[in-house]
Amino acid sequence: MKFFKRDKQKTSPKTQKDAIPKRRVWGINTETLQLILEVSKETYPNEFVATLIAKKGVIEEINLLPGTLSGNTTATIRTHMQPPDITLSVVGIVHSHPSGDFRPSGADLFFFSKFGNTHIIVGTPYDINSWQAYDSSGQPIEIKIVD
């Protein structure tokens, strides 16, 4: 019996990061940003958290997941509760910092590196100027507000 040599490049397992294509997010819909700011305001003094859904490079929706827990210093999202039909459109998370400081914490940076490649943090006073987008390594990125 003859055995065939395996081509190591073709059979080597890919890491999860390699298997998921990077999505290029360049904008956020005005109405979606306003919704994020309003829900964050209503949730105050607790944190708000949801997943971000983009189409053609623009964040158009958020998804509130069942089982999400929030307090005044933390929010826990259960990403495994994401419906399968929109999972491929999810590009990251959005959450609020009631303190007003919208720089990522150590816990934020850890989560950013594990889930998606575009993240938004909003802070008080929850207006059009109190948010920042970040990449998966926690570096600030620019996202345009579009109609």
- Rounded CA-CA distance 7/58 in Å is 39
Residue 13 has pLDDT above 70, yes or no: no
Within a domain: residue 2?
A: no
Q: What is the pLDDT of residues 45-59, one digit of tens each?
A: 999 999 999 999 999
Within a domain: residue 8?
A: no
Q: Which domain holds residue 126?
A: 22-65+75-146
- Is there a catalytic annotation at residue 38? no
Within a domain: residue 124?
A: yes
Within a domain: residue 14?
A: no
Number of domains in the chain: 1
Within a domain: residue 1?
A: no
Provide the pairing of β-strand 27-29 with 58-63. Answer: parallel
Within a domain: residue 86?
A: yes
- Point out the catalytic residue in the list 42, 47, 60, 142: 47
Nearest-10 Cα torsion for 137, 138, 142, 147: 100
Q: What is the pLDDT of residues 87-142, one digit of tens each?
A: 567 899 999 999 999 999 999 999 898 888 999 999 999 999 999 999 999 999 99
Within a domain: residue 84?
A: yes
- Residues for the chain: how many in total? 147
Residue 69 has pLDDT above 80, yes or no: no
Q: Minimal CA–CA distance to 116: which of 16, 15, 30?
A: 16
Q: What is the CATH number of the domain that holds 112?
A: 3.40.140.10
CB-neighbour burial class of residue 137 (10 A; exposed 0-12, middle 13-18, buried 19+): exposed
- The DSSP line for 4-41 is PPP-HHHHSPPPHHHHSPP----EEEHHHHHHHHHHHH
Provide the pairing of β-strand 90-97 with 75-76. Answer: unpaired
Within a domain: residue 13?
A: no
